[in-house]
Amino acid sequence: MRLSLPRCTRAVLAVCLLMLWPGPAAAEFPPQTGNSVGMEFVLIPPGSFPMGSPPDEPRRDPSERLHPVTLSTPFYLQVTEVTLGQWWKVMGHSWVVRRQGQAATPVTRVSWRDTQEFLAALNRLGEGVYRLPTEAEWEYAARAGTTTAYPWGEHPDCSRALFGNNASKEDTCVDYVRAKGWDVGCPAPAGSYPPNGWGLHDMQGNVWEWVADWFAEYPQGPVTDPKGPETGEMRVRRGGSWFMYGFYCRSANRAAAHPDSRFQTTGFRVVREVPGG
């Protein structure tokens, strides 16, 4: 008798089979690293995962087509979003008028093109090779081995991520924020919420994060090390933010914006490539 599996189940099964194949070892690299700017990174191992969301996930967008993805090379990902303190150390205080806050506040109001200026300056320090994560790397790291809508389960949780911190529009988490002694109407200090299974803070919520890819439809079948199209009009943002609804924090959720856009809700975190990566 031939067993017929739903399409989403077949995609997950394909990923499981891919994970049986050995990939490049990550053990030769230290599990954590840092730099003189105060940025901390954790090593993300290579592996495979089902990228996107199943058809029955609440608030799912059609652009989240479920498909198997393999990442063949380990990489370091920043433990938190880039903070104002780190931005100032790299770029100087001339940006301070547009970016006020404490040193531990995630930097926001940075366009995708601004992130490229920051990365160029950071790379000039000669302490490693830095870049934005690809969209696939971001989701793989955000999931940390989970397949649920959020890393902790199927529903948004004010104690796990910052969203709904907007007293005039979406105030779901305002009481929780006030009980913590944080400010309403803005992001929390970087690293305020519990880390995911790989030690990464605020992959869900706090501020949207620019990633490297142009926004486009996902491919139909399995892919390895995808980087998105070579050209486009909109760049991808991931993770949701403090400003609005919890469902924007789903691991598969995608948003797009013009690369020159600067939002009070959007920042970024960076990849540090492994030597030889």
Domain at 161, CATH number: 3.90.1580.10
Has residue 170 been placed in a domain?
yes
Has residue 53 been placed in a domain?
yes
Has residue 69 been placed in a domain?
yes
Number of residues that make up the chain: 277
DSSP state of 16: H
Has residue 60 been placed in a domain?
yes
When divided into structural domains, the chain yields a total of 1
Distances (CA, A) of 10 to 6, 7, 21, 36, 45: 6, 5, 18, 46, 24
pLDDT computed for residue 28 by the predictor: 86
Query: What's the rounded Cα separation, in Å, for the pair 164 and 244?
Result: 5
Query: What's the rounded Cα separation, in Å, for the pair 218 and 274?
Result: 27
pLDDT computed for residue 101 by the predictor: 73
What number of other Cβ atoms are within 10 A of residue 181's Cβ? 6
pLDDT computed for residue 20 by the predictor: 36
Query: What's the rounded Cα separation, in Å, for the pair 25 and 190?
Result: 30
Has residue 237 been placed in a domain?
yes
Q: To which residue do tokens 């929780």 refer?
A: 176
pLDDT computed for residue 6 by the predictor: 38
pLDDT computed for residue 154 by the predictor: 98
pTM: 0.90
Nearest of 15, 76, 81, 20 to residue 44 by alpha carbon: 76
Has residue 221 been placed in a domain?
yes
pLDDT computed for residue 2 by the predictor: 34
pLDDT computed for residue 24 by the predictor: 46
| Cβ atoms 50, 218 nearer than 8 A | no
Has residue 208 been placed in a domain?
yes
Q: To which residue do tokens 């994970």 refer?
A: 19
Query: Computed from CA positions of residues 266, 42, 157, 186, in that sequence, does the dihedral angle turn out positive or negative?
Result: negative
Query: Over its length of 277 residues, how does the chain's per-residue pLDDT go in tens digits?
Result: 333 333 334 334 334 433 333 444 666 899 999 999 999 999 999 999 999 999 999 999 999 999 999 999 999 999 999 999 999 999 987 654 455 678 999 999 999 999 999 999 999 999 999 999 999 999 999 999 999 999 999 999 999 999 999 999 999 999 999 999 999 999 999 999 999 999 999 999 999 999 999 999 999 999 999 999 999 999 999 999 999 999 999 999 999 999 999 999 999 999 999 998 7
Q: Strand 266-267 to strand 208-214: parallel, antiparallel, or no bridges (unpaired)? A: parallel
Has residue 18 been placed in a domain?
no
Which ranges of the chain would DSSP assign to H, the alpha helix?
7-18, 84-91, 112-123, 135-143, 174-180
pLDDT computed for residue 276 by the predictor: 80
Query: What's the rounded Cα separation, in Å, for the pair 48 and 17?
Result: 9
| Cβ atoms 254, 64 nearer than 8 A | yes
pLDDT computed for residue 233 by the predictor: 97
Residue 246: which domain range?
28-273
